[in-house]
Amino acid sequence: MAASTITRAVIPAAGAGTRLLPATKVVPKELMPLIDRPVIQWAVEEAIASGVNDLLIVTSRGKSLIADHFDRHEELEHLLERRQKERELEAVRSVGEGARFHYTRQAEPLGLGHAVLQGAAHIGHHPFGVLLPDDVMVGSQPVLGQLAAHLQPGVCVVAAIPVPRAEASRYGIASGRMQDGVMQVEHLVEKPPPGKVTTDPAWAVMGRYVLDGGIFDVLAGLPPGAGGEIQLTDALAERAREGRLLAVAFEGRRYDVGDQLGYVKAVVRAALDRPDLAPAVSRYLRDLMESDRW
């Protein structure tokens, strides 16, 4: 388990998942499976592996299945016991093991910053993590724990990856000098227009954050930003202007599972990372590439 200076985290899970419709018409996008684990479980397991055991999940109407997933299912457990399905029983019992779950609702879709703000009463002034389930991050060390290792009082830390300058307009872009994997962020801009970013690669902020509790006061005072929503990026940009924002070039891979192609890539990668599936999946992919049907 990675050492951590935080024990609390917020997981925003109120989005509509429109990029994966119609699959997400009834099933929350956070419960779309990567092999046999829903994407939100990957975020929860990353948090637990980072030493975080107090999790607030921000949901919305129609998302009660998320709480059901992390709850006990005694009838299913008894059925598996009777059928002596020990592996499946352990998998069911271990869901969310080691964490305390809390839930609150974002009544209106007013942006990521507004979703994080729903955690103010629960988190208080403690530093805390934020994990976006759409971003599945896999590394030899949990990404949230990598960020927490750089936490300082009154400072926020964000995960960053290098992206081609031509793609910078798709992301929040941090500017500053990256040295030994850490950047003192000087500017942070959400989806800058083409041509605005001059560095190549650019450093894009991804869905893991370690925030100081004071960020709630910043969020509460923000006017609506892009799309008429309260943007977390705007609050972090204020921290950058104060010299209180770090970006960490984390070790690991990131997949955007809220996007169709990203979801497919994540499923394939998850299969190749599993010893029980990797040989057969590798053979299948080789056969597929070599076949006349390709």
Residue 117, domain member (yes or no): yes
Would residue 272 count as lying in a domain? no
The CATH number assigned to the domain holding 76 equals 3.90.550.10
183 to 10, 107, 136, 204: CA distances (angstroms):
24, 36, 22, 12
pTM of the model: 0.92
Give, rounded to a whole angstrom, the gap between the first and last alpha carbons of the chain.
43
Residue 268 lies in a domain: no
d(CA 242, CA 154): 10
Per the structure, the complete domain to which residue 47 belongs is given by: 8-258
d(CA 231, CA 38): 26
Asked if residue 109 belongs to a domain, the reply is: yes
**Which amino acid is it at 11?**
I
Residue written as tokens 């926020």? 156
Strand partners, 189: 173
Q: Domains in the chain: how many in total?
A: 1
Asked whether residue 208 is domain-assigned, the answer is yes
pLDDT tens over the chain, length 294 residues: 344 479 999 999 998 888 999 999 999 999 999 999 999 999 999 999 999 999 999 999 889 999 999 999 999 999 999 999 999 999 999 999 999 999 999 988 899 999 999 999 999 999 999 999 999 999 889 999 999 999 999 999 999 999 998 889 889 999 999 999 999 999 999 888 887 887 888 999 999 999 999 999 999 998 888 778 899 999 999 999 999 999 999 999 999 998 899 999 999 999 999 999 999 999 999 999 888 665
Spatial separation of the C-alpha atoms in residues 150 and 239, rounded to whole Å: 16
Q: For residue 292, is it within any domain? A: no
